[in-house]
């Protein structure tokens, strides 16, 4: 994003193009998923995100960010997260471990210049960090992979803690609230705004059209359904990453609350004039969506964009993510993971090939009509009908 020189204090009379680096409006937020809702193409994203996850990185790239400045460690070494690699491979300058004071010295919407890891405002240096390259990121990922065994151990510990705390909910369904949406003996499609969710929803269109499953959006998954042209039946989550449009679309709302009953998302629901059911649980929102569907008698649960691997669990930002692991075990054979289904199979017949096939078939049929006795009879009849039509038409004007 190029900004006119006369709009930048201290730079009047000097062209922005003469200055090296990227000059653009800065968007600042400590929560990346909140920032991407208002980040516009050509703007510089300034974030505070330890272990930038894949979904956040893809969102930054999709928004068209001119550069990304992170005041935290993009790869802490806890696990091999792929976010920084995605940002750099997209061609975006990525500065890591930048000066934390950026959040105090800059206001959202200020024009800044980023060059060689240094952030300038009014041509004053206000922060700096380390420019990441494919080589530095690969080295950090290699180191993180070497220490992954520690995270597996933490995962096991977290699993035992979760079983002790949520055993009654997992085994007996104690604490699952009543809802109006009927799921008994129906298919339930749960959508999380995770990896490849857009492509997977598009691939599942024939399934949705035929089976008409109950559509459940988990936080931003509700917006994903709306963007695809579907109306969610149920929205589950803490509602920090779902739009007001989704929350007021008419779907039933289930607020994910803490075990002590606190539900921060409930205040937003009431501000929008809506009511919601509260579901207290220490698990994640996608977990309670699956447990809800299972408890209410769903015949089949189809999950899109959910988390299934250790790296994905850690990407979610919770230690071990044992809740999701155990929830999948409890739901068992009802669960069909449709994440990545769009990459499993793609039609090998392209549009040009299909057009060529239709043209070839038409030519073949035409040749068959011309050379066969029956075809010749049809042609004579067609010619007679055409001559009769012309004779009648001429008679109207004679």
Q: What is the pLDDT averaged over residues 343-349?
A: 55
DSSP secondary structure code for residue 176 in this structure: P
313: confidence class by pLDDT, cuts 50, 70, 90:
low
Q: Is the pTM of this model over 0.85?
A: no
pLDDT of 14:
43
Q: Are 302 and 213 in contact (CB under 8 A)?
A: yes
pLDDT of 104:
92
Q: What class is the 5-144 domain?
A: alpha beta
* Each residue's pLDDT tens digit, 30-80: 999 889 989 999 999 999 999 998 889 999 999 999 999 999 999 998 888
The set of residues, in sequence order, having a beta carbon less than 8 Å from that of 237 and lying 6+ positions away, is 218, 219, 254, 255, 256, 265, 285
Per DSSP (E only), the strands in the chain are 22-28, 44-47, 67-70, 94-96, 111-115, 118-121, 124-128, 130-131, 187-192, 214-218, 234-237, 252-257, 277-280, 300-304, 335-337
pLDDT of 350:
58
Q: Which of 114, 93, 63 is nearest to 74 (CA)?
A: 93
Q: Which of 248, 253, 316 is nearest to 287 (CA)?
A: 316
Q: Are 302 and 286 in contact (CB under 8 A)?
A: no
Q: Are 201 and 229 in contact (CB under 8 A)?
A: no
Q: Which of 3, 62, 67 is nearest to 37 (CA)?
A: 62
The set of residues, in sequence order, having a beta carbon less than 8 Å from that of 77 and lying 6+ positions away, is 140, 143, 144, 147
127: confidence class by pLDDT, cuts 50, 70, 90:
very high
Domain covering 148-344: architecture: 3-Layer(aba) Sandwich (3.40)
Kindly report the average pLDDT of the chain as a whole number: 84
pLDDT of 253:
97
pLDDT of 11:
41
pLDDT at 167 over 50: yes
Task: Report which secondary-structure segment, H or E, holds 269.
Answer: helix 264-271
How many helices and strands (H and E) does the chain possess? 17, 15
Q: Which of 17-21, 22-26, 225-229 has the lowest mean pLDDT?
A: 17-21
Please give the biggest Cα pair distance in the chain. 98
Q: Are 252 and 259 in contact (CB under 8 A)?
A: no
4: confidence class by pLDDT, cuts 50, 70, 90:
very low
pLDDT of 182:
96
Q: What is the pLDDT averaged over residues 350-355?
A: 67
Most confident of 13-17, 98-102, 365-369: 98-102
- Which pair of structure tokens corresponds to residue 114? 């980023």
Residue 106 or residue 170, greater confidence: 106
**Spatial separation of the C-alpha atoms in residues 169 and 298, rounded to whole Å:** 17
pLDDT of 12:
39
Distances 377 to 11, 362, 367 between C-alpha atoms, Å: 85, 19, 14
Q: Are 148 and 314 in contact (CB under 8 A)?
A: no
**Spatial separation of the C-alpha atoms in residues 337 and 196, rounded to whole Å:** 13
- Which pair of structure tokens corresponds to residue 310? 């250790």
pLDDT at 2 over 50: no
Domain-wise residue ranges, the chain: 5-144, 148-344, 350-382
pLDDT of 309:
67
Strand 94-96: give its sheet, edge to edge: 124-128, 118-121, 111-115, 22-28, 44-47, 67-70, 94-96, 130-131
């Amino acid at each position: 994003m190029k900004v006119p020189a006369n709009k930048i204090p201290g730079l009047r009379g000097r062209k922005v193009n003469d200055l090296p680096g990227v000059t653009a409006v800065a968007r600042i937020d400590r929560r990346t998923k909140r920032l991407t809702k208002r980040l516009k193409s050509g703007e510089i994203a300034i974030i505070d995100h330890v272990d930038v996850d894949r979904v956040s990185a893809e969102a930054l790239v999709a928004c068209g960010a001119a550069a990304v400045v992170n005041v935290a460690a993009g790869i802490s070494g806890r696990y091999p997260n792929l976010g920084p690699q995605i940002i750099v491979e997209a061609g975006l300058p990525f500065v890591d471990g930048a000066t934390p004071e950026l959040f105090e010295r800059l206001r959202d919407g200020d024009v800044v210049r980023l060059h060689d890891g240094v952030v300038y405002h009014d041509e004053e240096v206000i922060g700096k960090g380390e420019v990441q390259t494919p080589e530095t990121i690969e080295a950090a990922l290699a180191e993180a992979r070497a220490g992954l065994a520690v995270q597996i151990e933490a995962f096991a510990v977290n699993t035992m803690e979760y079983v002790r705390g949520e055993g009654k909910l997992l085994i007996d369904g104690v604490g699952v609230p009543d809802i109006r949406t009927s799921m008994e003996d129906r298919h339930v499609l749960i959508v999380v705004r995770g990896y490849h969710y857009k492509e997977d929803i598009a691939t599942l269109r024939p399934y949705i059209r035929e089976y008409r499953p109950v559509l459940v959006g988990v936080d931003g998954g509700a917006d994903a359904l709306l963007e695809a042209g579907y109306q969610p039946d149920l929205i589950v989550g803490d509602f920090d990453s779902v739009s007001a449009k989704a929350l007021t679309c008419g779907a039933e709302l289930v607020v994910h609350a803490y075990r002590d009953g606190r539900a921060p998302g409930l205040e937003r629901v009431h501000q929008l004039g809506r009511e919601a059911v509260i579901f207290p649980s220490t698990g994640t929102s996608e977990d309670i969506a699956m447990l809800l569907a299972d408890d209410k008698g769903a015949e089949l649960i189809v999950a899109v964009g959910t988390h299934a691997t250790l790296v994905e669990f850690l990407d979610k930002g919770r230690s071990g993510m044992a809740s999701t692991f155990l929830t999948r075990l409890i739901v068992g054979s009802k669960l069909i993971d449709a994440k990545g289904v769009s990459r499993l199979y793609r039609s090998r017949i392209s549009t040009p090939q299909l057009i060529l096939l239709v043209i070839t078939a038409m030519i073949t049929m035409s040749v068959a009509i011309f050379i066969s006795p029956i075809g010749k009879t049809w042609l004579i009849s067609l010619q007679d009908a055409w001559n009769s039509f012309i004779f009648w038409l001429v008679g109207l004007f004679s």
